[in-house]
Structure 1
């Protein structure tokens, strides 16, 4: 290989990597764990470059040489949108844990405990669920799954093409619906406990109107909710992690 040929290959590789970085960098800004606000910006930038180095060789060449300005601008728009779309779809799983924690905390009267102590205001139960879920996902090889997910994204949404608005809207709404369904299913035991508690409290209040049932019942629901959380948290995180892996294996969500 001559020096001129090597320079041409290096130039094509550089522009190909730039195109891949546009999608990977946009996704990295919102991905779970790697895109968290608690992660320093420099660390996120280094992680985006590292993921680009892994994803780029697995993606067919996007540029044979230096692109002209209109094509570069087009790629800047399409790849950024694609990266944000795929990143936000994964971010919904974190929001599902936060929503489940908020529902559970409201059900057992712990919604205000440490609610504003984090960059993203979350009840203590939601914060514990998010930290535990992300720790499980990362320890189980989330970085490998994310690299596969980003490579597969080029088959779902080819580079340089604007996605169909109707198809993207339908896909996005279905992912949001699944996230809320997952959050509700995770918090279902706490809702059942709250329902039973309120029915029991109503029956006691009806039978003994002079008893201040609120003062007696508030510690009971809190203690019972914490005990239920200690028992149910492992199962909740297992269900969440399986749902995350199922989505990463099939982002389209085909039955």
Structure 2
């Protein structure tokens, strides 16, 4: 439908408000999405991605987006609701991604690498270098397998499930987050399971050696063996760990609201 130049002053506020709603949902999700929401990505790039995705979605979604309300309080509620939906989708996607660095964090403690800690943006706290390396490896796997596109598709489809201006399902959202947290911890323990078992066997062996050979300096003998053996076991199992994590991430990301 052709738009007369005289109609632009009337349509521009509605278009601007509709675009703002799309930016709020997309931008809030992009802050947490695995791969696209990593702390290493500059803020300018994230803002550019947000505006680009919003510009792609807005023409399609514009007819279904609410008109600018007369009351400012209602506008604030609409914006807050869109931000809540975006944060919810982003959090569900982020939780499964955190399982991999969480498992690597366990490994760092088991392998005796916890003495060298550095700031890990994924957790917002100090972590082992191993956890950071494995976490970045997971990001590479996400991009290599194309799984980073699933949350974006979920954002586009979320407007059919959670239309803009509708009530935010707080109860269902909270339940989904709790389930996702439990699943993330379970996946992390599953990935770290072989190392936990190996660590228990290793510590039991050291205990027996200290009893059988009391004069042996067990700590000085054990630490190099612990690090070398753990890294060797990691080299053998890392491909399987990434495979299990990728399958779990594919299942979770493929089940996001809107897909």
Identify whether the pair has TM-score above 0.5, normalized to the shorter chain.
Answer: yes
Q: Distance in 2 between matches of 1:63 and 1:156?
A: 13
Whole-angstrom CA distance in 1 between matches of 2:66 and 2:206: 72
Q: Which residue of 2 aligns with 1:51?
A: 53
1:243 aligns with 2:248: yes
Correspondences of 1:81-160 after superposition (within 5 Å) = 81-113=84-116, 115-116=117-118, 118-119=120-121, 120=124, 121-160=126-165
Give unmatched runs, 5+ long, in structure 1. none
- Residue 32 (structure 2) pairs with residue 27 (structure 1): no
Structure 1 window deviating more from structure 2 (187-196 vs 152-161): it is 152-161
1:125-169: per-residue Cα shift (whole Å, max 9, x none)? 111111111011112224432321112323443322333333222
Q: TM-score, normalised by structure 1?
A: 0.88
Q: Report whether the alignment pairs 1:167 with 2:172.
A: yes
| SS of equivalent residue, structure 2 residue 39 | coil
**Deviation of residue 179 (structure 1)?**
0.6
Aligned equivalents of 2:255, 2:221: Cα separation in 1: 49
Q: Is the Cα contact below 8 Å between 2:93 and 2:151 reproduced in 1?
A: no
Does the CA contact (< 8 Å) of 1:93 and 1:179 recur in 2?
Answer: yes
| CA drift at 1:28 | 1.2
SS of the residue 1:122 aligns to: strand
Q: Which residue of 2 aligns with 1:214?
A: 219
Higher RCO (C-alpha 8 Å, min separation 6): 2
Tell me how far apart the structure 2 counterparts of residues 214 and 101 of structure 1 sit (CA, whole Å).
23
Q: Contact between 1:145 and 1:248, CA under 8 Å: does it hold in 2?
A: yes
Report the Cα distance in structure 2 between the residues aligned to 1:137 and 1:143, rounded to whole angstroms: 6
What is the CA deviation profile of residues 98-138 of structure 1, one whole-angstrom value per residue up to 9, with x for unaligned ones? 2111111111111233x215544221111111111101111
Aligned residues: 251
Return the alpha-carbon distance in structure 1 between the equivalents of residues 114 and 149 of structure 2. 35
Checking the alignment, whether the CA contact within 8 Å between 1:54 and 1:147 is kept in structure 2 is: no
Distance 2:38 2:112 in 1: 28
Instruction: Using the TM superposition, give the Cα deviation of residue 77 of structure 1 relative to its aligned residue in structure 2, in angstroms.
Output: 1.1
Bigger Cα displacement from structure 2, 201-210 vs 178-187: 201-210
Equivalent residue, structure 2, for 1:80:
83
| SS of corresponding position for 2:186 | helix
Q: Which runs of 5+ in 2 are unaligned?
A: none
CA-to-aligned-CA distance 1:173-231 (integer Å, 9 cap, x gap): 10100010111111111101101101111122222222222221211111010011111
